Amino acid sequence: MKILVFLVLLGLHSAAAVIHSMKHIFTVSSQVPNFPEYVVVAMVDDVQIDHYDSNTRRVVPKQDWMNRVTEDDPQHWERHTARCLDDHQLFKGYIETLKNRFNQTGDVHIFQWMVGCEWDDETGDVNGFRQVGYDGEDFLSWDVKTNTWIAPKQQAVIIKNSWNNDKERLAFLKHTITQVCPGYLQKYVNYGKSSLMRTELPSVSLLQKTLSSPVSCFATGFYPDRAEIFWRKDGEELHENVELGEILPNHDGSFQMSVDLNLSSVTPEDWRRYECVFHLSGVKDDIITKLDKTAIQTNWGKTGFPLGAVIGGVVVLLLLVVGITGFFLWKKNKKGKDGFQPANTSDASSSSPSSSSVGVQNTT
């Protein structure tokens, strides 16, 4: 599950002001019921831009603004689709190779490849990454600085050595990630800028589950995911008796987060000294919510607001988000980064990862 952690870090990292990112995530599974054997997704600034799977066999845009790619590249979707079709067999070969290497038979297995790049639109700095995961664990990764593969697992050492010996291939991988990928990224960010660069303020509510529970300051509906939320007392940010939640995605593309304040040792007269502050990056005015008993939505019926449902919903959402984004991110990781290609189908230890495609787009 290190990959998950890695993804979370990536997410936070890409949240820094002017760093844009693109990743491709390729996922091959065997014997997962009701899930396509092969799925490819690409993300720009953590927004999914397209989708391919082995059931539909077609790459489709997931954002309206991605339709603009055909303006100067009319064959974009056809070419991308052909690439995905080809790569399916390659990735399938990888999973077979790894099953052998781990002495595994039937059962459910998942192989993920993530590849991508980051581009700082102020400094022009470029970064890149490739990661391979097998059955939920990091298997191989590529380091852009040293242009070498790293094997966290003993079973990956032979493959790693072989790939590190193929200098020509390494040079190609580096080129695609540090030159080709950022070119596409800039183009796509330009197409999507009115959407990707928008800011949306959230609605902020105070929620409390039971009389003795902490008061949760809950902000939902904001974009992008570069935001802060905290409690203040007499104008000073509080660090004690507070618990800050993670930023989580809503299914409409916006985000939510919350911060809890434990008020068990605060007298009712002192409540008015507290307020919750929400700050969205790039927006001057914060949303300030005073701690006011009458404004708190509770579970026990005062406001008639179904707080239980809200909190329950949030918990379920959290679990879903952790599960789903974990899964998708993971996928992304594997393939997405720059469409790190899997090595040969016949033997992953053979030196050349097939298409080396850095991204299913041409960038691969």
Cα–Cα distances in angstroms (integers) from residue 89 to residues 7, 29, 84, 211, in the given order: 26, 12, 9, 58
- Sheet with 38-44, side-by-side order of all strands: 60-61, 47-53, 38-44, 19-30, 109-120, 126-134, 137-143, 148-150
Segment 203 to 242, residues that bind ligand NAG, using CB under 6 A: 214
Residues in contact with ligand NAG, total (CB under 6 A)? 5
| Shorter beta-carbon distance to ligand NAG: residue 170 or 310 | 310
Q: Which among 108-116, 133-141, 259-267, 321-329 is the span making contact with ligand NAG, rule CB under 6 A?
A: 259-267
Four-residue CA torsion sign, 123, 5, 187, 222: negative
* CB of residue 303 to ligand NAG, shortest distance in Å: 22
Q: Write out the H or E segment, with its range, that includes residue 76.
A: helix 76-101
Q: What's the maximum distance between 2 C-alpha atoms anywhere in the chain?
A: 73
- Cα–Cα dist 29/154, whole Å: 22
Sort strands 296-298 and 287-290 into parallel, antiparallel or unpaired: unpaired
| Shorter beta-carbon distance to ligand NAG: residue 61 or 214 | 214
Residue 312 is given by DSSP the state H
* CB of residue 135 to ligand NAG, shortest distance in Å: 14
| Shorter beta-carbon distance to ligand NAG: residue 34 or 212 | 212
Does residue 294 bind ligand NAG (CB under 6 A)?
Answer: no
Four-residue CA torsion sign, 347, 351, 354, 356: positive
Q: Which among 120-128, 166-174, 261-269, 272-280 is the span making contact with ligand NAG, rule CB under 6 A?
A: 261-269
* CB of residue 209 to ligand NAG, shortest distance in Å: 10
End-to-end CA distance of the chain: 26
| Shorter beta-carbon distance to ligand NAG: residue 147 or 262 | 262
- Among positions 33, 71, 103, 107, the unique one binding ligand NAG when judged by CB under 6 A: 103
Does residue 265 bind ligand NAG (CB under 6 A)?
Answer: yes
| Shorter beta-carbon distance to ligand NAG: residue 142 or 218 | 218
Does residue 264 bind ligand NAG (CB under 6 A)?
Answer: yes
| Shorter beta-carbon distance to ligand NAG: residue 103 or 105 | 103
CB atoms within 10 A of CB 237: 11
Instruction: Identify how many contiguous H helices and E strands the chain contains and give both numbers.
Output: 6, 18
Does residue 105 bind ligand NAG (CB under 6 A)?
Answer: no
- Among positions 250, 262, 349, 352, the unique one binding ligand NAG when judged by CB under 6 A: 262
Contacts with ligand NAG, residue ranges (CB under 6 A): 103, 214, 262, 264-265
